[in-house]
């Protein structure tokens, strides 16, 4: 099995370091807004770039992988050797098919995390891919063709427990001694309202805890966000339950390291990368049964699973961990060990690399 080499994410590399002749992999990201799909792509692409001559095509490029401009792409027309084009969205599959039909020597790979019936256009596009990856068995079942199941991974060096969690929490400026978090865009699908309702019941009983929601309230969710703020104010928790808005990736990582407990409250998800991000930093986990939660979490061992949208169940699962932070710390340590074994970015990248090698 291929093993991933040295970590390169701290070094910004340009296309000038990779010639059109030795290029092997194009990672398209044809979506300007930062999203969960972009986040997972940014995580694994630099790892793949340590063992393939790879480039990133589109916005939000991470460090550790060369950037491709349109002018570079045009130079690859009718070259002799094959290239992998790894899409994660419909528009990226369409772009790959168009380029392939016009003479670009592409082998097309698509990764799906969606747990729903696909539109006719997605089904049509999927049938034309050279290889399909699904992030879990449920996602694979909706694709209606053979797929390799490869769960998302997390960079366990970057997302790692802090040396001193109390000191990390102190840097937040929040009152108390411990933090509980819920990350992702603030909207009903993410269960943001479920988290706020649970915190309005629990925080008055546990004065050592504060809560943080890291994520943006988009314009279309402004009414929903305003209602959450009203609930927080009515409970008198403005200083102990904060919504940060969208933050740089580096700040998000610091917020993870400040947490003692993480609440994954989504009503429905594709995979739910925040599950393994939180486990990787050693936070204990309470997760709704959505996305990959039942794949990732050993219920009662590395986390606690609850029904989606159930405030009472979330409160009942969080209360023992808030009452006994050492219990939470022990669960967080077991969760970290599970991620290292099953859900590291190295495991994901190695398995994706096997798919590439089979194609070219």
pLDDT at res. 19: 64
What pLDDT shows up at residue 58? 95
Q: Are residues 124 and 265 in the same domain?
A: no
Rounded to an integer, what is the distance from CA 293 to the centroid of its chain? Answer: 13
Whether residue 146 sits in one domain with residue 221:
no
Same structural domain, 257 and 240? yes
Q: Does residue 5 lie within any of the structural domains?
A: no
6 lies in some domain: no
Instruction: Name which of 102-106, 112-116, 325-329 the model is least confident about.
Output: 112-116
68, part of any domain: yes
255 pLDDT tier (thresholds 50, 70, 90): very high
With 60 as the cut, is the pLDDT of residue 11 above it? no
Contact 228, 243 (CB under 8 A): yes
Residues 65 and 88 in one domain: yes
- How many domains are contained in the chain? 2
Per-residue pLDDT band at 16 (split at 50, 70, 90): low
Cβ atoms of residues 354 and 6 within 8 Å? no
**Average pLDDT score, the chain:** 92
Residue 229 pLDDT? 97
- Judged by DSSP in three states, 25 sits in strand
Q: Is residue 323 located within the same domain as residue 177?
A: yes
Is the per-residue pLDDT at 309 higher than 50? yes
Give the whole-angstrom CA distance, residue 230 versus residue 232: 5
Give the burial string for 61-100 (b: 16+ CB within 10 Å, else e).
bbebbbbbeeebbeebeeeeeebbbbbbbbebbebbbebb
The answer, yes or no, to whether residue 115 has pLDDT greater than 90, is: no
What's the rounded mean pLDDT across residues 54-67? 94
Do 121 and 215 lie in one domain? The reply is: no
Contacts of 345 (CB under 8 A, 6+ apart): 43, 44, 47, 153, 154, 155, 156
Asked whether residue 231 is domain-assigned, the answer is yes
> Does position 5 have pLDDT exceeding 90, yes or no?
no
Residue 138: which pLDDT band, with cuts at 50, 70 and 90?
A: confident
* Residue 44 belongs to domain spanning: 15-153+344-359
Do 117 and 189 sit in the same domain of this protein? no
Per-residue pLDDT at 17 exceeds 70: no
Residue 48, φ and ψ in degrees, nearest 5: -65, -30
pTM: 0.81
Strand partners, 131: 109
In percent, the amount of the chain with pLDDT more than 90 equals: 81
The reported pLDDT for the residue numbered 96 is 98
H-type alpha helices, the chain: 36-48, 70-74, 90-101, 120-127, 137-141, 165-170, 192-202, 222-234, 249-257, 273-280, 293-296, 311-323, 325-342, 345-359
Same-domain pairing of 183 and 122: no
Contact 56, 68 (CB under 8 A): yes
For residue 8, what pLDDT is reported?
36
What pLDDT was estimated at residue 90?
Answer: 96
Whether the pLDDT of residue 36 is over 80: the answer is: no
- Same domain flag for 269 and 246: yes
Structural domain includes residue 160: no
94 and 171 belong to one structural domain: no
% of the chain residues with pLDDT over 70: 94
Quick one: pLDDT at residue 6?
Answer: 31
- Residues 75, 48 share a domain: yes
92, 224: one domain: no
C-beta contacts of 133-138 below 8 A and 24+ residues apart: 133/109, 133/352, 133/355, 135/111, 135/270, 135/271, 135/292, 136/271, 136/292, 136/295, 137/295
Query: How far, in Å, CA of 231 to CA of 350, rounded?
Result: 46
Nearest 10 degrees: CA dihedral of 318, 189, 35, 253? -10
**Spatial distance between the Cα atoms of 75 and 70, rounded to a whole number of angstroms:** 9
- Write the CATH number for 52: 3.40.50.2000
pLDDT recorded at residue 263:
98
Bridge partners, residue 149, by sequence? 134
- Residue 71 clears pLDDT 70, i.e. is over it: yes
What average pLDDT does range 227-237 have in this prediction?
97
Judged against a pLDDT cut of 50, whether residue 352 lies above it is answered with yes
State residue 4's pLDDT score: 32
pLDDT in tens, 146-189: 999 999 999 999 999 999 999 999 999 999 999 999 999 999 99
């Amino acid at each position: 099995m291929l093993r991933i080499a040295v970590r390169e994410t701290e070094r910004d590399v340009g296309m000038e370091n990779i010639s059109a002749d030795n290029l092997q992999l194009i990672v398209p990201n044809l979506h300007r807004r930062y999203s969960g799909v972009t986040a997972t792509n940014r995580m694994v692409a630099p790892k793949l770039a340590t063992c393939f001559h790879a480039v990133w095509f589109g916005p939000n490029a991470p460090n550790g992988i060369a950037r491709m401009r349109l002018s570079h792409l045009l130079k690859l027309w009718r070259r002799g050797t094959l290239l992998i084009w790894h899409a994660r969205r419909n528009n990226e599959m369409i772009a790959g098919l168009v380029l392939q039909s016009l003479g670009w020597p592409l082998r097309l790979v698509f990764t799906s995390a969606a747990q729903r019936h696909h539109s006719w256009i997605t089904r049509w596009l999927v049938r034309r891919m050279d290889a399909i990856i699904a992030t879990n068995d449920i996602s694979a079942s909706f694709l209606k063709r053979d797929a390799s199941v490869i769960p998302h991974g997390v960079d366990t060096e970057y997302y790692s427990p802090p040396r001193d969690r109390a000191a990390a929490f102190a840097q937040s400026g929040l009152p108390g001694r411990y933090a509980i978090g819920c990350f992702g865009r603030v909207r009903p699908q993410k269960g943001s309202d479920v988290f706020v309702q649970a915190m309005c019941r629990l925080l008055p009983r546990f004065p050592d805890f504060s809560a943080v929601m890291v994520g943006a309230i988009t314009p279309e969710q402004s009414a929903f966000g305003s209602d959450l703020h009203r609930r927080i104010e009515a409970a008198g928790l403005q200083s102990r339950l904060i919504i940060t808005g969208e933050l740089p990736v580096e700040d998000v990582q610091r917020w993870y390291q400040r947490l003692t407990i993480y609440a994954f409250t989504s009503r429905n998800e594709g995979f739910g990368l925040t599950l393994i991000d939180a486990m990787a930093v050693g936070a204990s986990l309470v997760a709704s049964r959505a996305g990959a939660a039942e794949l990732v979490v050993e219920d009662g061992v590395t986390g606690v699973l609850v029904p989606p949208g159930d405030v009472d169940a979330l409160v009942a699962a969080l209360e023992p961990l808030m009452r006994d932070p050492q219990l939470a710390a022990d669960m967080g340590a077991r969760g970290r060990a599970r991620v290292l074994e099953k859900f590291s970015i190295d495991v994901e990248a190695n398995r994706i690399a096997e798919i590439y090698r089979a194609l070219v």
